[in-house]
Amino acid sequence: MKKLEGRAREMQLVSINVGKPQTVMHNGKEVSTAIWKYPVTDRRFLDWEQLDGDGQADRRFHGGKDKALMVYSYDHYSFWEEKLGQELAPGAFGENVTVRGLDESTVSIGDIFQLGEAVVQVSQPRQPCFKLDVRLQRSDMVSLIQQTGYSGFYMRVLETGMIGQDMEFRLLEKSSHNVTVAFINQIKYHKKDNLEAIRRILAVKELADSCRPSLEKRLTT
């Protein structure tokens, strides 16, 4: 990896968001979800698997070492507000970290960032699930996320520490693979038969294990 001095581009940490699991009604059924995340103004400790004060309702699909933080770009918010016809506050997409100046097209798997005292690394795209429908009171959010590619992405923790909205956020190392989150989304949802691209993605050792099986399966079918 190539080490970089300072910021690769102007980035801003908009907010740090946390939320605990709660039970809500959706289509006449009870659903346990922690997708309601709200900004906090104090500093929080980020350990290997999650942020202090945060939680996940289903640990099979959320949280863990490769999904310690979910990041979403505030640059997408104006698009979604117009599309959905509602005002959205940071954390509306269930993200722990809301940022400006960084999105799926500019961040690559393996990129390393300084976030407060912690050091974090991009591990995989966020795969949308029906709980976004629950949170935003829609029935089509999963398909809209797939169409737009505005998925957000996960980070693993390389060094634990305190993080906060008022703390440093900068790129430390840019991955030499240049496999962006947007590229993976394009192959995963739109160019599913591009085997060369799938092999390129799977060759990135920093890609989370949970992201591999569905891609590997395409190489054998």
pLDDT in tens, 49-100: 999 999 775 666 566 799 999 999 999 999 999 999 999 999 999 999 999 9
Helices (H), the chain: 77-84, 131-136, 141-148, 181-189, 195-202, 213-218
Task: In whole angstroms, give the CA distance from residue 114 to residue 116.
Answer: 6
CA atoms within 13 A on the CB side of 70: 28
- The token pair at 203 is 């060759």
Q: Would you state the structure tokens that stand for residue 135, as one six-digit string?
A: 């949170």
pLDDT in tens, 118-166: 999 999 999 988 899 999 999 999 999 999 999 999 999 999 999 999 9
16-29, pLDDT tens digit by residue? 999 999 998 888 88
pTM of this structure: 0.92
**Mean pLDDT of all residues belonging to the chain:** 92
Residues 95 and 73: beta-carbon distance below 8 Å: no
The pLDDT-based confidence of 31 (bands split at 50, 70, 90) is confident
